[in-house]
Amino acid sequence: MNDIPLPSNADQMANAPVKITRVECIPLHTPFKTPFKISSGAAREVVETLIVRLHTDQGVTGIGETQAWRRQGSAETLPNLVRTINDYFAPMLIGRSPFDVAAVMHDFNNAMYNTLYAQAPIGDAMYDLMGKILGVPVHQLLGGKCRDKVRIAAVLTMQGTTGSLIDSAQGFVEQGFRHLVLKIGNDPTMDLRNVIALRKKFDNKILIRVDANAGLSYDRALSLLTKLEPYDIETAEQPLAIWDIDGMAALARAVRMPLMADESVSTDHSLLEIIGKRAASSFQTKIAKNGGIHYIQKLWHVAAAAGLDINPGNHPSTSVATAAVAHLCAACPHPVMAGVFAVGVSGALATDIVENPIIPVDGEVLIPTGPGLGVTLDEDAIASLRIDV
């Protein structure tokens, strides 16, 4: 039984023809605590965050989050996302019910195929609305709760020295993290040195993953991963370019460590290609990259049927997108890996935008229990981070 009290007018709202009346885009520059560096591009000072808030004729609002992350496989900017939503999606949404999420997302994709970064916050805001209207958390809309908490992984961004990397890792270990993801791909000598130092410092107390963010050629990846194999790497994430699925499949056969697909998987079609070619043994989803809750739940079901491990991820996000993935994890009956979906709230971001931030405890995230996504925007924080586009 649901132990969350329903709002006094829940029955009335659930039975009334609730309609979406306005789509509000809120572009933000959310600062990193320290610059965030991966294999491609310069270190980032901020995350270009977009919050979408849906208003209804019942006075209930729902929120969702996406990012203009811009890495291999995405070219979104905040002005582009806002324009796509305001000029194309909002007119298709006004007057619709938040309970029509499947039909709405299908219509969006028919109108502008593969605009997943723009679709994600709208679909998630519809789920938030449904949960608030019914007085239940989102995971109950997705099939019910299968777990109360989920273990997460920490990301070690590229540092200037191995010493600073070890200091960063020590901080995460002291917080209870046991899965560390090391960014690699720019300097193979330093990559090897960093892995050796991590294993020497923490021995078998941690699991090490490496992530090249699609930054290596086949030959460079084969050389580097072969050198890293003696140090018990849990998995190597997206070593090759997103289009080189044949290369990923060949690399998976050539090395002993498992490979994970990330940037290569956007839709169910790309996931099926990974599965068909045995190009990875696990894959990572992200709310923005994969279009939000609606699409990701389908991807997880397909992956589980194919025997692919599920890694719940996110671009560095506020508690809004973090909560969305937590609800997906809660409703998933299959095992899920310790994902990086909470990297933003685990210390990467300098601030949050909700009144009740998600705070990891001992390397785990508790599943939100409030109605909808279970988080509420902090209007003062929103005002301080909001930008004009």
Residue 345 located in a structural domain:
yes
Residues 45 and 107 in one domain: yes
What pLDDT is recorded for position 311? 98
Residues 90 and 161 in one domain: no
What pLDDT is recorded for position 94? 98
Residues 93 and 146 in one domain: no
Please tell me the distance from the alpha carbon of residue 2 to that of residue 135, in angstroms, as a whole number.
9
Q: Is pLDDT of 29 > 80? A: yes
Residue 382 located in a structural domain:
no
Contact 289, 74 (CB under 8 A): yes
What pLDDT is recorded for position 1? 34
**C-alpha distances out from residue 330 to 98, 145, 284, 327, 333, Å:** 22, 5, 17, 5, 8
What pLDDT is recorded for position 77? 95
What pLDDT is recorded for position 11? 54
Domain holding 58: CATH number?
3.30.390.10
What are the phi and psi torsion angles at 293 (to 5°)?
A: -55, -45
Assign 9 a pLDDT band (cuts: 50, 70, 90): low
DSSP state of 59: S
Residues 169 and 303 in one domain: yes
**Residue 56, domain extent:** 10-135
What pLDDT is recorded for position 75? 85
pLDDT tens column, 123-150: 999 999 999 999 999 999 999 999 999 9
**C-alpha distances out from residue 80 to 19, 48, 94, 293, 312, Å:** 26, 12, 20, 22, 26
Residue 221 located in a structural domain:
yes
DSSP state of 312: E
- Tell me how many domains the chain contains: 2
Residue 5 located in a structural domain:
no
pLDDT tens column, 269-303: 999 999 999 999 999 999 999 999 999 999 999 99
Mean residue pLDDT across the chain = 94
DSSP track, 180-245: EEEE-SS-HHHHHHHHHHHHHHHGGGSEEEEE-TT---HHHHHHHHHHHGGG-EEEEE--S-TT-H
Residues 63 and 170 in one domain: no
| Residue whose structure tokens are 């997302």 | 105
Query: What mean pLDDT do residues 351-374 have?
Result: 97
Assign 12 a pLDDT band (cuts: 50, 70, 90): low
Residues 86 and 173 in one domain: no
- Asked which of 9-23, 234-248, 316-330 is least confident by mean pLDDT, the reply is 9-23
Residues 128 and 194 in one domain: no
DSSP state of 98: G
Nearest to 96 by CA among 125, 70, 117, 116: 125
